[in-house]
Structure 1
């Protein structure tokens, strides 16, 4: 039998007792019963300038005002995207295209990774403090879900600074190829992911699974489809934006076409050039309609030496999302942009 040694950063983390499962179910029930006017109140944590799925997720969320109540948007920096400022700027562009710039709070989270930030951690001054403190303060005041579609650094930092966060919210995370290794969001901060998995916070993993029909990778669109369906979609911006790749745009639909045209200039040629998945948007869609995916409750695994290790005796459980309804999700995406309803602001 192979014996796995858990890295020091993981071994310091505590494992849950049976009460962890009960707490998770209690929080989920509480969150389900405290939405605003039947809207889903959330904070969206994103690496907005990574490729193009974040931008489509942001537009889908911001233009689904009958479904989502967006308390704020926090950004973090992954290896693509020109640092934290690049991610912030791209999120701001989408807000401007939706006429919500300066209306929905947008805050910078972590530039670095959890391991380097948490060493000699000063809770009064640390990388990502603006965004992390916003998450902590907002969830203390109200029942809010955190939808994370990048690395989990901001979430891990929030838990480190204030472990009580685990008792007042849940995390819906777009990431991992579980049970197989790899995946961009996971690999950008594996220590943060393990920290969150070993915490008590209710956690839902919306799988990616590159190349497999069971993950969000399968919810893909072609350039041809985008070119045919997206021109002019979304509200007309009161002020046009200058796009990430240049050009001037007054609707998200027109900007979407530009993003698809230039995506491989931005991230490199790492797959078929005729289509791209809208990974991140799926994490929001399954909150809007949970019939668009299938869920399984599993004991929380852990990643050791870049391999998933199942822990069948672990009383801490997470929810795994897979097998998504591509047609239902994409039809709703296009419909949402054809008849946009802006989210209400909290000013």
Structure 2
């Protein structure tokens, strides 16, 4: 009997570390969100989604750039700051990036204070700081200017990053983020760096344009969501808020809805969501196409490979966004 008890005890001691090992959470994904936050409203929701999934993402920082909508980079910086404050984050850096285009800024990068320097240098520093075997995810949900400048300024970071970009109607022409700085996209496509396009495809269900919400859904499921902060935050339309969910309702109240039934796309949320759960879309690897003028040209046999993300599970992504607001885990550095 004593022998049986000893063997049972030994087995329990042996199995305990195995059980503890199995219970360990998955490593958090290191990410920098690069955003034109003041453009409309999808950027704010994607940023909040990342910031309130702190058990999934290790948010190393937020960088901003300016696109045609939302004013210069200061307006985008202030909107990102509002969202970060409403999400209750602390200690996560926020840096202003490029006002101008890649083509205009690149020749000036030897100057001590070129356009976008704070964001570009931050991206480089965080990429270089990644431990061996880890890639920093760069999540640009606006134009690619800051990312292209960082690669041009420090080509070695191509081995330390993974770029997941929300943009393009590929294989169709056009799309807002792409058109704001096509030269930055051409540069990234020319560099051997892991590059993934989360396609938008206006008017088609296969792109993030299909991740749509109605005004009634927003009011019913977003209102009051997220952590409640102690100090009210003034929104860009003048009102004060203590939760991101209430700010979301206000943002939707100042936006134009379209389609039948009237709805609005949460485009950028799709790019963050597929990082959390790749099963919420389909992906395929292919040779990188070339952007010639405003048209895409496929390059048969091109060995420079990229990933295309499409066919997003709208219901799963929106449901997880709501769950995130209801049970937020605030990100930490």
TM-score by length of 1: 0.85
1:85 equivalent to 2:82? Answer: no
1:145 equivalent to 2:134? Answer: no
Offset of residue 125 of structure 1: 3.1
**Which consecutive unaligned segments of at least 5 residues does structure 2 have?**
1-24
Q: What aligned pairs does 1:156-175 form with structure 2 within 5 A after superposition? A: 156-175=148-167
Match of 1:133 in 2: 121
Offset of residue 208 of structure 1: 0.2
Q: What aligned pairs does 1:195-344 form with structure 2 within 5 A after superposition? A: 195-264=187-256, 274-344=262-332
Offset of residue 82 of structure 1: 1.4
Instruction: Tell me the C-alpha RMSD between the 2 structures.
Output: 1.5
Match of 1:6 in 2: none
Match of 2:181 in 1: 189
Alignment check: 8 A CA contact 1:234 1:253 kept: yes
Residue 31 of structure 2: SS of its match in structure 1?
strand
C-alpha distance in 2, partners of 1:187/1:314? 24
Evaluate the alpha carbon distance shift between residue 242 and residue 213 of structure 1 in structure 2; reply closer, same or farther with a 3 A threshold: same
Match of 2:27 in 1: 38
1:99 equivalent to 2:88? Answer: yes
1:54 equivalent to 2:43? Answer: yes
Offset of residue 313 of structure 1: 2.2
Evaluate the alpha carbon distance shift between residue 113 and residue 273 of structure 1 in structure 2; reply closer, same or farther with a 3 A threshold: farther
C-alpha distance in 2, partners of 1:193/1:270? 29
Alignment check: 8 A CA contact 2:258 2:264 kept: no
Residue 170 of structure 1: SS of its match in structure 2?
strand
Residue 119 of structure 1: SS of its match in structure 2?
helix
Residue 311 of structure 1: SS of its match in structure 2?
coil
TM-superposition CA deviations, 1:207-238 (whole Å, max 9, x none): 00000010000001011110111221111012
C-alpha distance in 2, partners of 1:334/1:121? 42
Match of 1:28 in 2: none
After TM superposition, where is structure 1 displaced by more than 3 Å over at least 4 residues in a row? 269-273
Alignment check: 8 A CA contact 1:123 1:161 kept: no
Greater alpha carbon shift after TM alignment, 309-318 vs 127-136: 309-318
C-alpha distance in 1, partners of 2:171/2:261? 27
Alignment check: 8 A CA contact 1:204 1:318 kept: yes
Offset of residue 274 of structure 1: 2.5
TM-superposition CA deviations, 1:74-106 (whole Å, max 9, x none): 000000011100000000001110112x52100
C-alpha distance in 2, partners of 1:187/1:270? 22
- Quick check: which has more Rg, 1 or 2? 2
Offset of residue 126 of structure 1: 1.3
Alignment check: 8 A CA contact 2:65 2:142 kept: yes
Offset of residue 311 of structure 1: 0.7
C-alpha distance in 2, partners of 1:123/1:310? 37
TM-superposition CA deviations, 1:16-43 (whole Å, max 9, x none): xxxxxxxxxxxxxxxxxxxx95111111
Match of 1:70 in 2: 59
Alignment check: 8 A CA contact 1:99 1:238 kept: no
Alignment check: 8 A CA contact 1:39 1:66 kept: yes
Tell which has more relative contact order, 1 or 2 (C-alpha 8 A, sep 6+).
1
Paired positions, count: 305
Offset of residue 340 of structure 1: 0.7
**Which consecutive unaligned segments of at least 5 residues does structure 1 have?**
1-35
